[in-house]
Amino acid sequence: MIARWERIETTAGSRYLIGMRTLFRSYGIALLGVTLLAPIALAPARLMADDDHRREERRYHDAKRNDDHVWNDREDRAYREWVRENHRKYRDFSKLNERDRDSYWDWRHDHSDAQLKIDIR
């Protein structure tokens, strides 16, 4: 193998070829490094975005009907309407007892966003 390298290095064209191989090999290693490091570098940003999304939308399970509800702005507006109609003092939904939550979900299944005039965008 060493003899072959010595023979290749004797001509000017071959030296150019070896230099190009080294250059392409370096680019290949750099590209591989970027490919392997990109997910690690981007992961914290994605996790932070997921955390923000989770803060805005919580999930609640309606045991009576065995379905899940996403708590977002529309659901909060509907909940405030339920509070008003039932002459209750506003409390954060997450702090309600189970009986009041079930009462709200029963009411909510009977009142669609269209009936409550909530924008569905």
pTM score: 0.52
pLDDT tens by residue, 30-63: 888 888 887 777 777 766 665 555 556 788 888 8
Distance CA 81, CA 103 (A): 13
Q: List CB contacts of 88: < 8 A, sequence separation 6 or more.
A: none
DSSP 1: -
Distance CA 55, CA 33 (A): 34
CA distances from 2 to 6, 17, 25, 80 (A): 6, 17, 20, 82
Question: Phi and psi dihedrals of 70, rounded to 5?
Answer: -95, 125
Q: What is the pLDDT along the chain (121 residues), one digit of tens a residue?
A: 444 444 455 555 555 566 667 777 888 888 888 888 877 777 777 666 655 555 567 888 888 888 898 888 889 999 999 999 999 999 999 999 999 999 999 999 898 888 888 776 5
